[in-house]
Chain A
């Protein structure tokens, strides 16, 4: 299953709630302000290990945080985003 989170974890509970409901086999894609959840050493960084976490490269770059990402965060472009959607039968956006 693919979960999509687009909120900063420091403003809204979408990321925390998502990680509380994501199985270890699911993928969590961070887009828009959701990419802030991928920061290294942040207050929510310990949640990143609960599922496979992927971030949208263009949104990471726009916010200037590429060098600040936690280890193991995979970056994808929009083509990779499309692949994640087609590879997963269920897609849920945590809007």
Chain B
């Protein structure tokens, strides 16, 4: 295998209305097995993917939101949410799912996976990436 690359998953679409969010998550889970440096961005309508309290039952759609909780177990713990995108939608961090991981370098302490970034910080994250997968 070649050197470790910085993989950036850019999620800009809402769940349910289209399949992109669900199938993007499937890529992230498979990709986690490849030991690359994996980062996820949720911005624009992508922030709705990790909205708390999703209940798809009556819609007849598959509710895949619980799967985001498993990301920490797959060592996917660099999850970035754009502040401006949340604000534009009248949301705050409290509206989002509480995604966590256990830090093996810190006696398996439970830590938050989500970090709030500004648009400028999101830009820097994009610029330093090797592979950008956008959904």
Which residues on A are within 8 Å of B, measured CB to CB?
1, 13-14, 17, 20-23, 26, 89-95
Are A13 and B134 in touch, CB under 8 angstroms? Answer: no
CA distance A22 to B84 in the complex (A): 15
Which residues on B are within 8 Å of A, measured CB to CB?
8, 10, 12, 43-44, 84, 119, 122-123, 126-130, 132, 134-135
When C-beta atoms are compared, the residue in chain B nearest to A20 turns out to be: B119
From A17, A21, A90, give the contact of B129 (CB < 8 A): A90
Contacts of B122 in A (CB 8 A): 21
Are B134 and A94 in touch, CB under 8 angstroms? Answer: yes
Q: Please report the number of residue pairs spanning A and B whose Cβ atoms sit closer than 8 angstroms.
A: 38
Contacts of A13 in B (CB 8 A): 44
- Closest Cβ–Cβ distance, residue B44 to chain A (whole Å): 5
20 A-B pairs (CB sep. < 8 Å): A1-B126, A1-B127, A17-B43, A20-B84, A21-B119, A21-B122, A21-B123, A23-B127, A26-B127, A90-B129, A90-B130, A91-B132, A92-B8, A92-B10, A92-B132, A92-B134, A93-B134, A94-B12, A94-B134, A95-B134
Contacts of A95 in B (CB 8 A): 12, 134-135
